[in-house]
Amino acid sequence: MWIVYAVASAFFAGITAILIKIGIKKLDSNLATALRTLIVLAFSWGLVLLANTHTQIASIPQKSIIFLMLSGVSTSIAWLCYFKALQLGDVSRVAPVDKSSTIITILLSFLVLKEKPTKAMIIGIFLLAAGVLQMIRPTKHDKKQSESKSWLFYAMLSAVFIALTAIFGKIGVGDVEPSLATAIRTVIVAIMVWIIVFVQNKQKLIKTLSRRNWLFILLSGISTGLAWILFFQALKGGRASIVVPIEKLNIIVTVVFSHFLLKEKLSKNLVIGLCLLVVGTLLMLF
């Protein structure tokens, strides 16, 4: 059943990237992150209250609380970097780099969580790495446009902290109900991103938001909340080294939607790389 949760998480995470790209156009990325976090916060705590799982807070082990908080901190940094990368580069170019977090997560799961690697996993890692490199290779069009690579720096930082998020989350979730774990983690994310917004004095830009901005921030917040809860549910029942690669297949959803909705071109490199990612993930799964 955890595989179903992981696949569902991938779907909602893939949609989120598109909603973010549309919703934060010409909008400060840090402010957009902070507003979206409030939506996730309200959504996750709403589910906790409906399920009456908030009564379990007092019984959560200190270790779980610490690692859920660390997961929240790493998520905050990852989000800020990812939003910035999306503003600077195409979704179809940013997403593959972001998905390299899969490789980092798998390696950390072997080292930190002591999950045993199989031959299929090792081959899958190489296929994932080859797929990512293939997808970010510059095309002739990119070279002619002398494309800035500043988005690449932020996308790589995002990948590192997303990997840490998964590892901390796996350790912290333990016996904690997934929606409650998501809600606790989101509190930390909200505090961090709003501190950054106020330090930069970006909160005054809220009044400049259009109805379109608010709509897509709301939708991306809800899809993020669903993706997180399903991801924690999958982590609770499955191995991090398998759950994470499945969840990262959300790139299929992202690339397809970016092509049809955002009119981003699907280059030969992108298609080949995407195929390598899918084959590598399926190999690790089966």
Backbone region of residue 201 per phi and psi (left: phi > 0; alpha: psi in -120 to 50; beta: other values)? left
Q: What's the whole-number mean pLDDT along residues 59-84?
A: 90
User: Average pLDDT of 142-170?
Assistant: 79
User: Which pLDDT does position 145 carry in this prediction?
Assistant: 43
Surface-to-core class of residue 50, CB atoms within 10 Å of its CB (0-12 exposed, 13-18 middle, 19+ buried): exposed
User: Pick the residue with more confidence: 253 or 161?
Assistant: 161
Q: In angstroms, rounded to a whole number, what is the distance separating the alpha carbons of residues 87 and 29?
A: 7
HEC secondary structure over the chain: CHHHHHHHHHHHHHHHHHHHHHHCCCCCHHHHHHHHHHHHHHHHHHHHHHHCHHHHHHHCCHHHHHHHHHHHHHHHHHHHHHHHHHHHCCHHHHHHHHCCHHHHHHHHHHHCCCCCCCHHHHHHHHHHHHHHHHHHCCCHHHHHHCCCCHHHHHHHHHHHHHHHHHHHHHHHHCCCCHHHHHHHHHHHHHHHHHHHHHHCCCHHHHHHCCHHHHHHHHHHHHHHHHHHHHHHHHHHHCCHHHHHHHHCCHHHHHHHHHHHCCCCCCCHHHHHHHHHHHHHHHHHHC
Compute the distance between CA of residue 105 and CA of residue 243 in angstroms, rounded to an integer: 10
Instruction: Please indicate whether residue 8 or residue 237 has the higher confidence score (pLDDT).
Output: 8
Is 61 within a domain? yes
User: 162: closest CA among 71, 229, 238, 230?
Assistant: 71
As a whole number, mean pLDDT of residues 243-255 equals 82
235 in a structural domain: yes
Whether the predicted pLDDT of 230 surpasses 50: yes
Is 14 inside any structural domain?
yes
With respect to residue 237, please indicate whether it lies within any of the assigned structural domains.
yes
Residue 30 within a domain = yes
100 exposed, middle or buried (CB, 10 Å; 0-12, 13-18, 19+)?
Answer: buried
Question: For the CA atoms of the chain, what is the radius of gyration?
Answer: 18
Distance, CA of 237 to CA of 246 (rounded, Å): 14
What value does the mean pLDDT of the chain take?
A: 85
Res 201 pLDDT > 80: yes
- Mean pLDDT for 211-216 is 89
Q: Which of 52-56, 59-63, 149-153, 179-183 has the lowest mean pLDDT?
A: 149-153
- Side chain identity, residue 94: V
Instruction: Give the chain's domain count.
Output: 1
Domain that includes residue 237, residue range: 2-111+151-263
With respect to residue 38, please indicate whether it lies within any of the assigned structural domains.
yes
Residue 193 maps to a domain? yes
Least confident of 124-128, 180-184, 261-265: 261-265
Task: Give the best-scoring range by mean pLDDT among 169-173, 258-262, 267-271.
Answer: 169-173
What is the rounded distance in angstroms from the CA atom of residue 256 to the CA atom of residue 18?
10
Residue 279 lies in a domain: no
With bands split at pLDDT 50, 70 and 90, how would you rate the model's confidence at 144? Answer: very low
Distance CA 98, CA 132 (A): 9
Tell me, what's the pLDDT at 77? 92
**111 phi/psi in degrees, rounded to 5:** -80, -45
Q: What global pTM score does this model have?
A: 0.76
Whether pLDDT at 256 is above 90: no
